[in-house]
């Protein structure tokens, strides 16, 4: 039954495309993530994309979950990146977690560096790290 | 027998598709036009809908197999004005309209406001693309001194 095999192949390709397609032209992905860490630091790998039709430099700014308040104890590598149109790159964000609170949520905002116009577009994600093991 | 095997193959494929991790919620904001402010004839309004329409426009692309994104549109701030400007009685406002380009989205609309407003975008098994048209204005009964004025509106896409 070649027609059925073709149908299955078409379905498989369509499924693959449906899952893979959103990876293109993203400014920030994922927008939200949480994870457990055995230490007092938690790291996430995020994908930053350039959806513009020109070469752009983006800056990554760590903020409190209100998306306004600057925070400390966060390292982003790289914190600034220049990309060709349509390209994406991965960054690593690492943040400290207070031993007493054992959990921390941060926000990370991506914005164009040199966009000095009346509208500033930002895409922000929210990331939570939890220390594993018993509290104390 | 062959029909049964084919049926099983389809079920296995469908099951595998269900098990495959969905793409994470992702958001892209792309500024298309920054917009321009112009003065009214009585010199009490500077706006992008004064003496013509030159709004700022943006395109947002959301991959939303699971989740809802929120778009915050902050109140504008004045980032530049000439030295002789009296800002005591000024009011800064933003208005916007969001409409779907691709995908299911009811749209969002906001009349001129001086506070931060938000709207949600939820996709159903597909990505969503929509445009946001923003207009800024500064109201000042004391008028505007000659010079350059700029405003800044922060638009944030977040989970």
CA A95 to chain centre: 14
More confident of the two residues A96 and A16: A96
Within 8 A of B65 by CB-CB distance, chain A residues are: 22
Q: Residue B71 and residue B66: Cα distance in Å, rounded?
A: 17
Q: Residue B138 and residue B38: Cα distance in Å, rounded?
A: 10
Q: How confident is the model at residue B60 (pLDDT cuts 50, 70, 90)?
A: confident
For CA atoms A28, A110, A48, A77, the dihedral sign is: negative
Contact yes or no for B159 and A31 at CB 8 A = yes
Which residues have a Cβ under 8 Å from the Cβ of A129 and sit 6 or more positions away? A34, A35, A36, A37, A41, A42, A95, A97, A103, A104
Residue B128 is predicted with a pLDDT of 79
pTM of the predicted structure, to 2 decimals: 0.78
- State the distance between the two ends of chain B, measured CA to CA, in whole angstroms: 49
Flag whether pLDDT at B10 surpasses 50. Answer: no
Least confident window among B39-43, B106-110, B121-125, B135-139? B121-125
Contact yes or no for A22 and B23 at CB 8 A = yes
Q: What are phi and psi of B116, to 5 degrees?
A: -75, 130
Mean pLDDT of A98-121: 89
Nearest CB to A121; choose among B26, B29, B76: B29
Largest CA distance in chain A: 64
Q: Residue A124 and residue A64: Cα distance in Å, rounded?
A: 11
Q: Residue A3 and residue A71: Cα distance in Å, rounded?
A: 59
For CA atoms B50, B54, B56, B57, the dihedral sign is: positive
The answer to whether residue A41 is domain-embedded is yes
**According to DSSP H, which parts of chain A are helical?**
2-20
Mean pLDDT of A66-95: 95
What's the mean per-residue pLDDT of chain B? 83
Residue B37 is predicted with a pLDDT of 92
Question: Which residue carries 């500024």 as its tokens?
Answer: B31
A22-31, A119-128, B63-72 — which one is most confidently predicted on average?
Answer: A119-128
Flag whether pLDDT at B23 surpasses 90. Answer: no
Question: What percent of chain B has a predicted confidence (pLDDT) above 90?
Answer: 53
Flag whether pLDDT at B11 surpasses 80. Answer: no
Distance to chain B for A80, nearest Cα, Å: 17
The answer to whether residue A73 is domain-embedded is yes
Residue A79, domain CATH: 2.60.40.10
Q: Which whole-number Å values give the CA distances from A80 to A91, A128, B56, in the listed order?
A: 10, 22, 26
The answer to whether residue A116 is domain-embedded is yes
Within 8 A of B154 by CB-CB distance, chain A residues are: 120, 122
Least confident window among A122-136, B29-43, B58-72, B129-143? B58-72
Residue A91, both tokens: 């960054």
Residue A80 is predicted with a pLDDT of 96
Decide if B51 contacts B38 (C-beta within 8 A): yes
Domain region containing A47? 24-131
Query: How many Cβ atoms are within 10 Å of A79's Cβ, its own excluded?
Result: 14
Within 8 A of A31 by CB-CB distance, chain B residues are: 24-27, 67, 69, 157-159
Question: What percent of chain A has a predicted confidence (pLDDT) above 90?
Answer: 60
Q: Please, what are the domains in chain B? A: 24-158 (2.60.40)
pLDDT in tens, A16-59: 333 333 333 347 889 999 999 999 999 999 999 988 888 989 99
Distance to chain A for B91, nearest Cα, Å: 16
Within 8 A of A120 by CB-CB distance, chain B residues are: 152-155
Count of CA atoms in the C-beta half-sphere (13 A) of B51: 11
DSSP run (H or E) holding B91: strand B91-102
Least confident window among B7-16, B31-40, B52-61, B126-135? B7-16
The answer to whether residue A17 is domain-embedded is no
For residue A120, what is the DSSP state?
Answer: E
Flag whether pLDDT at A65 surpasses 50. Answer: yes
- When divided into structural domains, chain A yields a total of 1
Nearest CB to A119; choose among B6, B27, B58: B58
Flag whether pLDDT at B90 surpasses 50. Answer: yes
């Amino acid at each position: 039954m070649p027609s059925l095999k073709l149908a299955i192949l078409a379905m498989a390709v369509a499924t693959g495309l449906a899952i893979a397609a959103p990876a293109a032209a993203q400014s920030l992905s994922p927008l939200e993530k949480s994870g457990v860490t055995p230490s007092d630091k938690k790291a996430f790998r995020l994908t930053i994309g350039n959806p513009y039709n020109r070469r752009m430099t983006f800056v990554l700014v760590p903020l409190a979950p209100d998306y306004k308040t600057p925070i400390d104890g966060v390292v982003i590598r790289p914190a600034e990146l220049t990309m060709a149109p349509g390209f994406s790159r991965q960054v690593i964000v690492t943040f400290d977690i207070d031993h007493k609170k054992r959990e921390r949520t941060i926000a990370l905002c991506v914005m164009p560096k040199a966009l000095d116009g009346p509208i500033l577009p930002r895409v922000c994600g929210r990331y939570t790290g939890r220390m594993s093991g018993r509290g104390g | 027998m062959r029909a049964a095997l084919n049926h099983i193959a389809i079920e296995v494929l469908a099951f595998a598709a269900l098990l495959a991790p969905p793409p994470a919620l992702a958001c892209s904001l792309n500024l298309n036009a920054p917009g321009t402010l112009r003065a009214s004839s009585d010199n009490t309004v500077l706006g992008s809908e004064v003496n013509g329409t030159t709004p700022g426009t943006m395109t947002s692309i959301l991959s939303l197999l699971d989740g809802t994104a929120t778009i915050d549109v902050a109140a504008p701030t004045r980032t530049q004005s000439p030295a002789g400007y009296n800002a005591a009685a000024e009011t800064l406002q933003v208005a916007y309209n969001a409409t779907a380009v691709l995908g299911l989205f009811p749209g969002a609309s906001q009349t001129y406001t001086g506070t931060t407003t938000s709207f949600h975008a939820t996709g159903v098994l597909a990505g969503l693309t929509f445009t946001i048209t923003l207009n800024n204005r500064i109201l000042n009964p004391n008028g505007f001194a000659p010079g350059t004025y700029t405003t800044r509106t922060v638009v944030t896409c977040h989970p």
